[in-house]
Amino acid sequence: MTTTSVSLQRIGSAARTDNAFVSEPPLQQNHARMLAISKLRLPTNVEMIGGIDGRKPSKSDVRRFADLLEREWNVRHHEHKTYEQHCADVQMRFDTISAPTFVAYGSGGWPDAVLFPIRTNRTPANDLEVLSPAYWNTDFSEGTLFSVRKSVSDNKFSIGFEKKLIEQAFIPYARALAGIGEVNGVFFYSWHLNGTFPSEQHKQEMEMHRELGAIPARIFQKGRIEELIYSHLLG
Which one is predicted more confidently, 72 or 3?
Answer: 72
Q: Comparing 57-61, 88-92, 122-126, 203-207, which segment has the lowest mean pLDDT? A: 203-207
* Residue spans per domain, the chain: 27-234
Lowest-confidence pick of 8-17, 73-82, 121-130: 8-17
Confidence of residue 9 (pLDDT cuts 50, 70, 90): very low
Residue 189: beta bridge partners?
227
Q: pTM value?
A: 0.83
Q: Span 146-160, mean pLDDT?
A: 80
What pLDDT was estimated at residue 156? 63
CA 163 from chain centre, in angstroms, equals 13
Instruction: For strands 185-191 and 215-220, give the pairing.
Output: unpaired
Round the average pLDDT of the chain to a whole number and report it.
83
d(CA 141, CA 15): 9
- Is 82's pLDDT higher than 50? yes
Count of helices and strands (H, E) across the chain: 9, 7
Mean pLDDT along residues 172-186: 95
CATH code of the domain made up of 27-234: 3.40.630.30
Higher pLDDT, 217 or 142: 217
| C-alpha distance from residue 25 to each of 49, 93, 104, 135, 212 (Å) | 21, 21, 30, 24, 33
